Structures are given as C-alpha cells and as structure tokens.
Amino acid sequence: MILEAGEKVHVIERRYFTEDLRRHFTGQVIKCTEQAVRLRGYAWVFDKVEGQFVMKPEERERIICFGDRIVINVIPKEVNLKEIQYVTLPEEGLVVTDGKDFMLEITEFTAMR
C-alpha cells in the first residue's frame, strides 16, 4: 500500500462544477487497500458567506475511494489534527497550517491573492 496506518493526510475532493461544495478532510489513516482508504479525522467545508473553510467540530470516520477527483497530501506525523487551520498569507495565498512548522498551499486559491 502507498498509505500506511497511522499516517496523516489532507484530502481535497475536486469539484465537477464551480457551484459544487468545496470539501476537504484531514485525518489519520486507519486502514488502506488498493481501492480505498479509511480515515479518522475532520471534515472541512467552504463557507461562501464567510469566504473561508470551516471545520466540522465532530471527529468522524470516512472511507475515500481513490480516483481522479481526489487529491491526497501527506501531513507530517507530528502535526496535531485539532490544530489545523486555514489561513490566508500575503505571499502564499490560502494555506493549511498547524501554526507551527507545517504549511500546505492550496493552489485552487492561488489566483485569489
């Protein structure tokens, strides 16, 4: 398997249409097969009114099937998933960060700078 139990990931679900909901997920791998991964973590949705991603407060398990609509970024193991936040920085644009060493640019929003 390319993902192993215990690894942490940030998942972006690509949209088909511009009006589709922007959904992301940050979680820890519980189990992985060649077709899908089971994660425990937090769902994020883009709030159009606030103009930012909002984390759903309850932890949940999600099974994500691999496909062309899914982008999976590996997060360093030392990152605390509860500390993750979305922040807009002047030079980088929208990033996912733990406020410490981890930072991941969300290129979908690069043009919004």
For residue range 56-75, list pLDDT tens digits in order.
999 999 999 998 789 999 99
Q: What is the DSSP letter of 83?
A: G
Q: Going by DSSP bridges, is the β-strand pair 8-13/23-32 parallel, antiparallel, or unpaired?
A: antiparallel
Cα separations in angstroms, 102 against 1, 7, 17, 21, 33: 24, 15, 30, 26, 27
Question: What range does the domain containing 32 cover?
Answer: 8-112
pLDDT at 1 over 60: yes
* 3, part of any domain: no
Say how many domains are in the chain. Answer: 1
Q: What share of the chain is helix, strand, coil (3-state, %, to 5)?
A: 10, 50, 40
Flag whether 2 is in a domain: no
Q: pLDDT tens digits for 8-33? A: 999 998 877 777 778 899 999 999 99
What is the value of pTM for the model shown? 0.87
